[in-house]
Structure 1
Amino acid sequence: MTTPLMSLVWTDHVTGRRGFLVVDRLVRGVASGGLRMRPGCTLEEVTGLARGMTMKEALHYDPEGRYLPLGGAKGGIDCDPRDAESYGLLVRYLRAMRPYVESFWATGEDLGLSQDLVDRAAADAGLVSSVQAVYPLLDDESAARQRLADAFAVEVDGIGLGELAGGCGVAESVLAVLDRAAVPYAGTRVAVQGLGTMGGATARFLARAGLTVVAVADLKGTIANPAGLDVEALLAARDGHGTVDRGVLRPDDRELPGDAWLSAEAEVLVPAAVSYAVDGANQERIRARWIVEAANMPVVAEAEALLAARGVTVLPDVVVNSGTNAWWWWTLFGDIRADADEALARIRRSMRALVGLTLDRAEADGTTPRAAAHALVTDRLPVIAERLGWYR
């Protein structure tokens, strides 16, 4: 892995808590990557996430598109987002990072933070927008900003389009893998860790495609039902952190420990919450055939090697959860309108192509899908750099 372009550690003068910013690479003078908040967040974690953003940008490179790749970056704050001090900490972090957000770091929601919260904190920190670094690259800034605002105002059955985009991409990745293996959707069981923005939308799209969601895990534990959960009822009963009100559970729904999702009788596991969720020890409990990484870096390298040795395929995060980032920029740069049908169709089409390309490369090279994704990025980055350059 290459050394990041910039790595920064910030200490809050009020709480003593730390925040991080890593810029892996600039393209056209800008890097894209969200801001996460979780207890235990580290510089190493943020560094890996920033590199992943560089890869996601490169994997969605379309020479004919209006949106052309940016570099990769990531921010992180070591704090529980439910802590009473978290909002003030977020504002102070963004105030400290203001020169970078104004000039070259376009950011947004990630683990622990919603886009609404990031937008409010950015305004309180004196920023025009969390993505204002991109504005000089736009043909018509006013129209682009209105288009993005309109897109975030779109709802589909009670859930905002911005919350659905990433999960649509994850679900389509699952469906693409099943189609490739000629496995019917009906009867295919799925367990999802995390029922926040990414996990919740993934569960909805998979259930609507005909798969059976047999387990979901949140901060309180795992909810399971071998016959299938009522996904829409669970989604409607979530709080702002993706925790389900147990009062909506049906008599045959079971409450299990938080890590029970790992050993669920399911063909597909979707870790959609924290990083490092699957390690060398707990991977032994996994019975699934596929792990589809909706979260960033949920399967550690040791675990992935052990899983591969026993025939479990891990579809990597840089492919699977890249739909959110792509949707933002397709909308802002004008490749798509603020329309749910158009947006979700574009995400599905793009993810199908990207998953197919990744798995074709893995087969051709005799490697894992993650190694194949890295190889694709290695091929594309010099092409992107030659065409677009690092700086404006």
Structure 2
Amino acid sequence: MTSPLVSLTWTDHLTGRRGYLVVDRLVRGVCSGGLRMRDGCTLDEVTGLARGMSRKEALHYDPAARHVPLGGAKGGIDCDPRDPESYGLLVRYLRAVRPYVESCWTTGEDLGLSQDVVDRAVTEAGLVSSIQAVHPLLDDESAARRRLADAFAVEVDGIGLDELVGGCGVAESVLTALDRAGVPHDGTRVALQGLGTMGGATARFLARAGLTVVAVADVKGTITNPAGLDVEALLAARDAHGTVDRRALRPGDRELPGDAWLSAEAEVLVPAAVSYSIGPDEQARITARWIAEAANMPVLPEAEALLHARGVSVLPDVVVNSGTNAWWWTLFGDIGADAGEAFAHTRRSMRALVDLVLTRAEADGTTPRRAAHAIADQRLPVIAERFGQHR
């Protein structure tokens, strides 16, 4: 694997905490990837995420679309987002990497950071926008920015469209896998780790598709009910970090330890929180048939090999959580600032991609991840030849 184009480590002069930025590659001089904040974030983690972003962009390449795939990048800050010093640290980090945000790196919310917090910090750091680097690639910048602002203003049943698109993609990935296996949606059980932006939206779409959400884990523990949890009530009772107020639980709901979601009696597991949550020990507790990686890099390679050997299919993050690319479709004008268009385009794109990956995996006798990587790695040179790159 090639080395990234840029890899930097920043040390905050006030707290000594570290932040990272990795640019895996540029396409037409621009790259894309979110900014995460979590205690224990490392350069290796951010490097892997940046490489994954390059592959996600490649997997959604459509020669007929206005949207031009960008290069992959990622930012990370080693700090608990609940720490009182976290916001000031975020602003100082953005000031330090300001030249990259201005010239080549488009970013936004990721684990531990919401888009409104990122936007506020971006303004305080003296930047125009977290995606200003892509503006020169737009045919009509003012129209594109207006279209994106309108999309961010859309709410669906009390949740912003920007928070829902990624989860819509995760849910469609699961539904595609079920349909290929001939498994009905109604009554299929699912357990999730995380009820933040991605996990919460995924839970909503799966529940509305007929699946039964039997377990949800947050920082306080696992909430479970074999008969099914009230997803909408849990969503309404969560805070900005996805932690559920336990006063919203119903009499049949139980509280178990934080890792109990792993062994829940469910056909589908959705890790939608932290990276590296499923290792060799954790995988031994899993009885589910599918694991859909809504989080980035939640399943360690050793664990995935063991899961694959016993027939558990890991639907990889590089595919499953790539639905957030819908915002590029909106920005470039492939779809309008409309929830119906966003969901229809996301479902159509994700279903086609998951079907392609699973078909390739079956044909090659390999894992869905290896199949997805093979497809992406075939497309990256095609993108580079058409649009150029700077490596």
2:365 is aligned with what amino acid? G
Q: Which amino acid aligns with 2:57?
A: E
Counting only pairs closer than 5 Å after superposition, residues 228-239 of structure 1 correspond to structure 2 as 228-239=228-239
The corresponding residue for 1:87 is 87
**Residue in 2 that maps onto 1:38:** 38
- Give runs of aligned pairs for residues 7-46 of structure 1, distance below 5 A: 7-46=7-46
Equivalent runs, 1:320-339 vs 2, <5 Å: 320-324=320-324, 326-339=325-338
- How big is each residue's C-alpha offset from its partner over 1:271-329, in whole Å with a ceiling of 9 and x where there is no partner? 000000100111100000000000000000000000011110000000000001x1110
In 2, the alpha carbon distance for the partners of 1:349 and 1:379 equals: 22
**CA-based RMSD:** 0.8
Instruction: Give, in angstroms, the shift of residue 391 of structure 1.
Output: 4.6
Paired position in structure 1 for 2:63: 63
Measured in 2, the distance between the counterparts of 1:343 and 1:381 equals 25
Q: Distance in 2 between matches of 1:331 and 1:360?
A: 29
In the alignment, the residues of structure 1 paired with residue 73 and residue 134 of structure 2 have an alpha-carbon distance, to the nearest angstrom, of: 13
CA distance in 2, matches of 1:187, 1:108: 36
AA aligned opposite 1:241: H
Distance (Å, rounded) in 2 between the aligned partners of 1:207 and 1:274: 22
Q: Distance in 2 between matches of 1:156 and 1:299?
A: 31
Whether the 8 Å contact between 1:191 and 1:261 is mirrored in structure 2 is: yes
Aligned twin of 2:47: 47
Q: Is the 8 A contact 1:274 1:296 kept in 2?
A: yes
- Aligned pairs for 1:345-360 within 5 A: 345-360=344-359
Output aligned runs, 1:366-377, within 5 Å: 366-377=365-376
**Deviations, residues 192-241 of structure 1 (Å, cap 9, x unaligned):** 10000000000000000000000000010000000000000000000000
Q: Distance in 2 between matches of 1:117 and 1:248?
A: 26
Q: CA–CA distance in 1 between the matches of 2:25 and 2:363?
A: 29
Question: What is the CA–CA distance in structure 2 between the aligned matches of 1:282 and 1:211, rounded to whole Å?
Answer: 24
C-alpha distance after superposition, 1:146-190 (max 9, x if no partner): 111100000000000000000000000000000000000111000
Distance 1:216 1:360 in 2: 31
Question: Where does 1:260-339 land on structure 2 (aligned, <5 Å)?
Answer: 260-324=260-324, 326-339=325-338
Structure 1 residue runs of 5 or longer lacking an equivalent are none
The 3-state SS of whatever aligns with 2:255 is strand
One-letter identity of the residue aligned with 1:327: A
Q: Return the offset for 1:2.
A: 1.7
CA distance in structure 2 between the partners assigned to 1:296 and 1:11 by the alignment: 24
Distance 1:78 1:378 in 2: 30
Distance, in Å, in 2 between the alignment partners of 1:128 and 1:328 is 18
**C-alpha distance in 2 between matches for 1:50 and 1:2:** 12
SS of the counterpart of 1:344? Answer: helix
1:340-372: CA deviations, max 9, x gaps?
001000000000000000001101111100000
Structure-1 residue corresponding to 2:150: 150
Residue aligning to 2:247: 247
State the one-letter code of the partner of 1:275: S
Whether the 8 Å CA contact 1:30–1:391 is kept in 2: the answer is no
How far residue 68 of structure 1 moved from its aligned partner, in angstroms, is: 1.0
Separation (CA, whole Å) in 1 of partners of 2:152 and 2:146: 10
Q: How do residues 199-238 of structure 1 correspond to structure 2 at under 5 angstroms?
A: 199-238=199-238
After superposition, the C-alpha distances for 1:103-131 in whole angstroms (9 at most, x for unaligned) are 00000000000000000000000000000
Equivalent in the alignment of 2:135 = 135
Gaps of 5+ in 2: none
Amino acid at match of 2:188: T
Q: Which residue of 2 aligns with 1:168?
A: 168
- Residue matched to 2:2: 2
Q: Which amino acid aligns with 1:146?
A: R
Equivalent residue letter for 2:233: A
- Give the partner amino acid of 2:198: M
- 1:362 is matched with 361
TM-score for the superposition, normalised by structure 2: 0.99
Q: Aligned to 2:366, what secondary structure does the other structure show?
A: coil
Q: Partner amino acid for 2:228?
A: G
Could you list the structure 1 runs, at least 4 aligned residues long, displaced by more than 3 angstroms after superposition.
none
Look up the SS of the partner of 1:175 in the other structure: helix
SS in 1 for 2:280: coil
- 1: CA distance between counterparts of 2:315 and 2:390? 32
> What residue in structure 2 maps to residue 341 of structure 1?
340
Where 1:285 maps in the other structure, the secondary structure is coil
Native 8 Å contact 1:55 1:374 kept in 2: yes
Rounded Cα–Cα distance in structure 1 between residues aligned with 2:298 and 2:336: 32
Give the distance between the partners of 1:77 and 1:391, measured in 2 at CA: 26
8 Å Cα contact 2:25/2:390 also seen in 1: no
Number of residues of Structure 1 aligned to a counterpart in Structure 2 = 391
Partner of 1:388: 387
Paired amino acid for 1:350: S
> Amino acid of the residue matched to residue 254 of structure 2?
R
In structure 2, how many angstroms separate the alpha carbons of the residues matched to 1:85 and 1:378?
A: 40
